[in-house]
Amino acid sequence: MEKFDILMIGHFAKDELIVDGRGEISSGGGVYYGSMVLRQMGLNVAVATRLHPDDFPRLEELRRAGVKVYASPGPQTSGIANYYQSNDMERRICKLIGFAGTMTLAEIPELPVSTIMITGIIAGEVDLPTLKALARRDPLALDVQGFVRVPQGDDLVFKPWPEMAEGLSHITYLKVDRAEAEHLTGETDLHAAARKLSSFGPKEIVLTQSSGPLVYADGQFFQAPFTPRSLAGRTGRGDTCFSAYIGRRLSAGPAEATYWAAAVTTLKQEKPGPWQGPVEEAETLMRARRCMGGG
């Protein structure tokens, strides 16, 4: 059986991006932005996803990039309308426009992999029994967004994850953003929030914010800056950062993976769509940032 570096699990999304009242339909979701990053890094990647059969042709972009895709039919394709103002691409309003339903364990192939990434965009994509079953297979990387971003009518609102203590006990790598970290821990200091989340079981915390990733691993903190020249590619920032970090961790330590993730995500934010490389540009930026940061 073919060996994969990473299996990504989550809904492929058909999003709408609205900037200053002008909208366009765009592919999205953690499995989209993330798998494209990992392929650019030369890694062997599989994706297990769920979407409406009418949108299966959208998966061809992943296949052309060399991603092995396992798609199951859903009643809808998940999607989010993201409203931005061009003078402040950091802030957005998100509205739900579709949900593909909960993925079952039978829809997730049992493949030889180094790491499984659960990168949902909406709560309900993966439930706790499936998470626990996957943790028995391989180390798990989890974006908590897919457990706390809850549909409420057409809105997506943050709600606590009732099973968080049990869920996080099965996680090796956890990704949260600043707002999620504060809500889940009650801590406004991000270092304190990372330590508290680590106490539930995850060995490494990847905390993303507009200034760059903060990583807590082996009792140490690692930080690197985002320095984009524009925010034209703001959507998909967190997915890109987490996937770049996990991909680099297969061959490097947390310090190098932090700087690599920051470099890749800096370049991604300058252009809409997934990061397309070149890898050499990201490597050059990473080395420059490490020299400046002393890491």
Please give the residue range of the domain that contains residue 59. 4-293
- Tokens representing residue 18 in the block: 């609205």
Give the pairing of strands 214-217 and 220-223: antiparallel
**How far does the chain reach from its first CA to its final CA, in angstroms?**
39
Give the pairing of strands 220-223 and 173-177: unpaired
> Distance (Å, rounded) from C-alpha 178 to C-alpha 260?
20
For residue 238, the domain's CATH number is 3.40.1190.20
Tens-digit pLDDT string for the chain (295 aa): 789 999 999 999 999 989 888 889 999 999 999 999 999 999 999 999 999 999 999 999 999 999 999 999 999 999 999 888 777 666 778 899 999 999 999 999 999 999 999 999 999 999 999 999 999 999 999 999 999 999 999 898 999 999 999 999 999 999 999 999 999 999 999 999 999 999 999 999 999 999 999 999 999 999 999 999 998 898 899 999 999 999 999 999 999 999 999 999 999 999 999 999 999 999 999 998 787 765 5
> Distance (Å, rounded) from C-alpha 118 to C-alpha 135?
11
Contact 12, 101 (CB under 8 A): no
Contact 174, 213 (CB under 8 A): no
Q: What is the pLDDT of residue 293?
A: 65
Best CA proximity match to 86, nearest among 224, 183, 201, 231: 231
Best CA proximity match to 273, nearest among 40, 6, 5: 40
Backbone angles phi, psi at 6, to 5 degrees: -140, 135
Contact 51, 100 (CB under 8 A): yes
Is the backbone peptide bond immediately before 278 cis, with ω within 30 degrees of 0? yes
Number of C-alpha atoms within 13 angstroms, CB side, residue 204? Answer: 22
CB atoms within 10 A of CB 155: 11
Compute the Cα dihedral for 276, 212, 196, 159 and give only its sign: negative
Total of domains in the chain: 1
Estimate the crossing angle of helix 178-185 against helix 190-198, to 10 degrees: 60
Contact 122, 152 (CB under 8 A): no
pTM over 0.85: yes
Best CA proximity match to 190, nearest among 171, 172, 167, 209: 209
Question: In sequence order, which residues have a C-beta less than 8 Å from that of residue 237 and are 6 or more positions away?
Answer: 208, 226, 265, 268, 269
